[in-house]
Amino acid sequence: MILAIETSCDDSCAAVLTGTGEVLSSVVGSQVIHDLYGGVVPEIAARHHLELLLPVVERALSDANVELEDLERVAVTQGPGLVGALLVGIATAKGLAVGLDIPLRAVDHLHGHVAASYLAGVELEPPFLCLVASGGHTLIANIQEPGSDWSIVGTTIDDAAGEAFDKGARILGLGYPGGPLVEKEAEAGDPAAFDFPRAAGVPGVDFSFAGLKTSLLYAVRDLGEAEAEARRADLAASYQAAIVDQLVERVSRAVETTGVSVVAFGGGVAANSAARMGLTEAGINLVVPPTKYCTDNAAMIGRAAIELPDLPREAALALDAYSTADRSAR
């Protein structure tokens, strides 16, 4: 029985899993307050984790019908993410591990987004590729062996795909978080109405979304406020199509160059139906977790932890957060 804790950004998450990876509970306490600021405020996120995390842990235990004493280990996200937010999760996990005298495992958040695909309910064994497209990262990893390191096949040279959705939503006046709002607005729009760039100048398997965002900004400016509002659905649909096309093209190239045909899809953007559909229609052999395991959650952290070793007690007590993917892009 493993308790997993995830606090890398603005969601306070806890989950209980069995040692074989069955999810008994997964609780996500979202901090809606960040809507007011149009994005996550790190200091506020950390303070809210302090208030939310213990009730979220209690809820995860009661949903799983498990007592604290039944737990055999604790897993926690170590990074990358907001350091103040991560430290609340790490301190809580350390306290539980010491108090219950059970081992602690440290999980990389991006490995968690990859491990989410093991919760898709289908057989998934390495080797496989994983497109991780989230708010802070967009990369294609090649997972060669269970629990082993991965190699990065391609990554974004500027913004992340989720960030492109969020910034696009802001330009279109849709609010935050942008992904689901752009997706909804796009439903009534024509994806071919505007011809937004698809990073044609970026070769190979790398991504670029900065030019796309600027292009939307100019299109909205050139249309003028009233016309841009009238054509918001078309703008959203065309913008989303440009993101999806770029994902599809890079993943297709990655499959071609690596010869690995199975592709898992993780991170918040994997919740996007147009992206799932685009990849499937391109003939990609796609494995996507349920939507609730695409955006941040602790079940994916618990699932990733199953493949990892327990930390020796001293290392567990000394565990520190890291903010960037550099340490994780091994």
Ligand X SMILES: Nc1ncnc2c1ncn2[C@@H]1O[C@H](COP(=O)(O)OP(=O)(O)OP(=O)(O)O)[C@@H](O)[C@H]1O
Choose the contact partner of 180 out of Mg ion, ligand X, none; CB within 5 to 8 A by kind.
Answer: ligand X
> What is the smallest separation between the CB atom of 312 and ligand X, expressed in angstroms?
27
Q: Where are the beta strands (DSSP E) in 144-240?
A: 150-155
Q: Nearest approach, Cβ of 78 to Mg ion (angstroms)?
A: 14
Full DSSP string of 270-328: GG-HHHHHHHHHTT-EEE---GGGTSS-SHHHHHHHTTSPPPPHHHHHT-----SGGGT
Q: Which partner in Mg ion, ligand X, none is near 206 (CB below 5 to 8 A by kind)? A: none
What gap in Å lies between CA 119 and CA 250, rounded to an integer?
24
Listed ranges 31-39, 60-68, 133-141, 209-217: which one lies at the site for ligand X (CB under 6 A): 133-141
Q: Which stretch binds ligand X (CB under 6 A): 150-158, 160-168, 276-284, 302-310?
A: 160-168
Identify residues 267-306 at the interface with ligand X (CB under 6 A).
267-269, 271-272, 295-296
d(C-alpha 14, C-alpha 61), whole Å: 9
Contact between 179 and ligand X by CB under 6 A: the answer reads yes
Judged by CB under 6 A, does residue 6 bind ligand X? no
Residue ranges with strand state E in the chain: 2-6, 11-17, 23-30, 73-79, 104-108, 128-133, 138-143, 150-155, 262-266, 285-287
Which residues, 6+ apart, have CB-to-CB distance to 271 below 8 Å?
Answer: 179, 180, 291, 294, 295
Q: Which span sits near ligand X by CB under 6 A: 84-92, 158-166, 215-223, 304-312?
A: 158-166
* Residue 303 binding: pick among ligand X, Mg ion, none (C-beta 5-8 Å cut-off by kind): none
Report residue 114 CA to chain centroid gap. 9
Rounded to a whole number of angstroms, the minimum distance from the CB of residue 161 to Mg ion is: 12
Question: Which letter, b or e, does each residue of 42-70 get, where b requires 16 or more Cβ atoms within 10 Å of its Cβ?
Answer: eebbbbbbeebbeebbeebbeebebeeee
Residue 289 binding partner per list Mg ion, ligand X, none, with a CB distance cut-off of 5 to 8 Å that depends on partner kind: none
Tell me whether residue 257 or residue 273 sits nearer to ligand X (CB atom): 273
Residue whose C-alpha is closest to residue 130's, from 270, 293, 271, 326 = 270
State the Rg of the chain over Cα: 20
Report phi then psi at 49, rounded to 5: -60, -40
CB of 315 to Mg ion, least distance (A): 25
**By the rule CB under 6 A, 135 interacts with ligand X:** yes
> Binding to ligand X by residue 178, rule CB under 6 A?
yes
The residue range among 28-36, 90-98, 132-140, 149-157 that interacts with ligand X, by the rule CB under 6 A, is 132-140
300 binds, options Mg ion, ligand X, none, Cβ within 5 to 8 A by partner type: none
Residue 162 contact, options Mg ion, ligand X, none, Cβ 5-8 Å cut-off depending on partner type: ligand X
- Partner from ligand X, Mg ion, none contacting 48, C-beta within 5 to 8 A by type: none
Partnered with residue 154 across adjacent β-strands are: 140
- With tokens 């903010």, the residue in question is 323
Find the binder of ligand X among 21, 180, 197, 290 (CB under 6 A): 180
Q: Which residues bind Mg ion (CB under 5 A)?
A: 134, 296
Shortest separation between residue 28's beta carbon and Mg ion, angstroms: 12
CB of 190 vs Mg ion, minimal distance in Å: 31
Q: Among 180, 199, 134, which Cα is nearest to 161's?
A: 134
Residue 198 identity (one-letter amino acid): R
**Binding footprint of ligand X on the chain (CB under 6 A):** 8-9, 81, 109, 113, 134-137, 162-163, 165-166, 177-180, 183, 267-269, 271-272, 295-296
